[in-house]
Structure 1
Amino acid sequence: MSSTAKTDFFTLFRERHSVRHFDASYKLSEQEIKELLELAGSAPSSWNLQHWKFIAFTEAAAKEKLLPIANDQKQVVNASVTVAILGDLQAHRNVEAVYGPTIQAGSENAYAGYSSHTAMIAQIEEAYADDSSSYRRDEAIRNTSLAAMQLMFAAKAKGLDSGPMVGFDANAFVQAFHVPPRYVPVLLVAIGKAVVPARPTSRFPVEQTIIWNGFEPDIATL
């Protein structure tokens, strides 16, 4: 990586801020939105099961329907697109689509530390066997959040602005947009062009956020 590319990459991280006020006249094309979501979908995920599903709100009527569900946050309607990111509670059902072509090609080499694809798939099925545990929801939220962050960086890299939102009624969202029980709404991300700069925010000094090699015993009990 060249020094220029490295500088641009770090600049991207430092200049991404959450925006609330968007230019309602600025429109993204369907192709531009697809490119952003393709980049978001290249995020890592457990067993590469890709636990995300995206609902892209671009039409005015759909945005207006979403607005009260999102506590009347105006960025929902003013952004070029508001993306609802859903987590897949049954991501193990993606195994065939993800690994089928490789298996059919006859590749039974060790994968990700497993002796075979068969061993790996057996462990995936075991992990998802108990649908009453919190594992499915935890995995859905954990992996989907990686895709959401990647979406926001992809937007910034393309000269756009974004703002994540968790202040919405998930149950009302499910009802209004006919979300199947397989998926859980995780967050909304508004994307477009800012008309008001993001509000400045501070960050803890890195020394305040690092614990080297574990907590001290007396601290861990507090």
Structure 2
Amino acid sequence: MSNLQTLEKIEQQTFIDVVRERRSVRQYDPTVRISQEEMTEMLGLATLAPSSSNLQPWRFLVIDQPELKKKLLPIAYNQQQVVEASAVIAVLGDVESYEKAEKIYGQAVEAGFMPEDTAVSFIERTVRTYSSLPPEAARQIVSIDGGLISMQLMLIARSKGYDTVPMGGYDKAKFVEAFGIGEKYVPVMLIAIGKATKPGHPTTRLPIEDVAFFNEMPTK
């Protein structure tokens, strides 16, 4: 085995370990603080996730001030990890992300990834298509993209020694009101992040033959 093959195998195994070690953690060390610089780095890596037409509709509200976490606590049904974790990241989807199409495709031109005339065509088609979507369809797209980036963020956090738990159990209407979330943003989930004081519970998964099928679905 060559040195390159050996390195690739080590990298692959490291990633698999991260996937296997990720747990939903609900007890955190409240003394551990994640700096804005490190949080920004993790979020930046997470934004390499795929999205519909590369519109990158995810937006993050990072809540790490103690008084704001206390404000969030009753909205999140008094789940203690809200105040104990280093931060709670609200993952939001922007249904008007098509407004950044010119910037997104312009960056692709500057990077040499796309001819300018192709970018102009993409911008026109993307804005026309996404601006005319029914509201429910637009919300579904940004929710899917928000789910993709949330999983990526949680794996990145684990690779850096942090723990997370995704939270769908919170009053979205009260959250929107309390934190001044604009109408164009769809709340996708909250993610608590920090250093665990107690490992997440190990869990089991259904056998793969119960969930994966090749070429046709079972009749029952």
Matched, 1:61 2:67: yes
Mean Cα deviation higher: 127-136 or 80-89: 127-136
**Aligned residue number for residue 56 of structure 2:** 50
Paired residues for 1:63-212 under 5 Å: 63-103=69-109, 109=115, 116-212=118-214
Render the CA deviation track for 1:63-109: whole Å, top value 9, x for unaligned.
00111111111111100111000011111111012112445789863
Paired residues for 1:4-23 under 5 Å: 4-23=10-29
More helix by share: 2
* Contact 2:85-2:193 at 8 Å conserved across structures: yes
TM-score (norm 1): 0.89
| Unmatched 5+ stretches in structure 1 | none
What is the RMSD computed on CA atoms of the aligned residues? 2.1
TM-score (norm 2): 0.90
Figure out how many residues of one structure are paired with residues of the other and give that number. 214
Please tell me the residue identity of whatever aligns with 1:141: S
| Unmatched 5+ stretches in structure 2 | 1-6
Shift of 1:55: 0.5
Identity %: 38
- Are residues 27 and 104 of structure 1, via their aligned partners in 2, closer, same or farther at CA, if it must alter by over 3 Å? closer
* Contact 2:27-2:81 at 8 Å conserved across structures: yes
Shift of 1:123: 3.0
**Aligned residue number for residue 33 of structure 1:** 39
* Contact 1:128-1:135 at 8 Å conserved across structures: no
* Contact 1:161-1:192 at 8 Å conserved across structures: yes
Mean Cα deviation higher: 120-129 or 178-187: 120-129
Render the CA deviation track for 1:162-207: whole Å, top value 9, x for unaligned.
1110001111111000011110111000111111110121101111
Render the CA deviation track for 1:99-129: whole Å, top value 9, x for unaligned.
124457898639xxxx922332333223323
Render the CA deviation track for 1:117-169: whole Å, top value 9, x for unaligned.
23323332233233534221011101111111111011000011111100011
